[in-house]
């Protein structure tokens, strides 16, 4: 089934993709690495659609589908139900899957700038993994130039400082994978 798949969709793909890449037989992990991923948790804006939460069980409850959660096959059916029942959700997901993002490493940021970076959804890497010691965030490519201007003005206080920062483009083939966090 994986060989014929053009897009893999999960609700919380960050968890499921890592599991499939790392905790399954090697040939399954290799197939998963070559497939684009979509996420009904992240790639659909449930708040804009009038929902108070993006939890799978809550969304299905609101759509009239009741189930006992946290069983893999049942969660698959519940995820499919979201895409079938919520008008436009699948289109929104497909459009968001096509977007490209960039992992941006704000290295050597002054310690007193950490709160500004946290407010902007940057996360700290202590350098023990595949990322260098830095504050990092994944930025949609259409917002990347604005983000670099913000870094220049608010974090580095110097025009062009962000031009030399490490970065890596992320597509649906790496999105939600631990591999996306390697520069």
The pLDDT value recorded for residue 182 is 64
Distance CA 138, CA 90 (A): 23
Q: Are 97 and 86 in contact (CB under 8 A)?
A: no
**Per-position DSSP letters for 168-179, written without gaps between them:** EEE-TTTTTSGG
pLDDT tens for the chain, 183 residues long, are 778 889 999 999 999 998 888 888 888 888 988 999 999 999 999 999 999 999 999 999 999 999 887 788 999 999 999 999 999 999 999 999 999 999 999 999 999 999 999 999 999 999 988 889 999 999 999 999 999 999 999 999 999 999 999 999 999 998 988 776 665
Distance CA 68, CA 89 (A): 23
The pLDDT value recorded for residue 119 is 98
The pLDDT value recorded for residue 49 is 98
Three-state SS at 181: helix
């Amino acid at each position: 089934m994986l060989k014929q798949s053009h897009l893999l969709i999960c609700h919380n793909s960050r968890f499921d993709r890592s599991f499939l890449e790392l905790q399954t037989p090697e040939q399954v992990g290799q197939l998963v690495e070559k497939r684009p991923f979509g996420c009904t948790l992240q790639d659909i804006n449930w708040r804009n659609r009038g929902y108070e939460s993006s939890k799978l069980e809550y969304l299905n409850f609101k759509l009239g589908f009741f189930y006992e959660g946290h069983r893999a096959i049942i969660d698959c059916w519940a995820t499919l139900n979201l895409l079938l029942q919520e008008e436009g959700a699948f289109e929104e997901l497909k459009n968001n899957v096509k977007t490209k993002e960039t992992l941006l490493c704000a290295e050597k940021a002054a310690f007193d700038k950490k709160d500004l970076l946290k407010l902007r959804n940057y996360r700290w890497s202590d350098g023990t993994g595949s990322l260098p010691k830095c504050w990092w965030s994944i930025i949609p490519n259409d917002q990347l130039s604005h983000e670099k201007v913000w870094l220049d003005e608010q974090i580095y206080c110097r025009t062009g400082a962000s031009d030399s920062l490490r970065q890596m483009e992320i597509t649906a083939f790496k999105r939600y994978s631990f591999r996306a966090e390697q520069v």
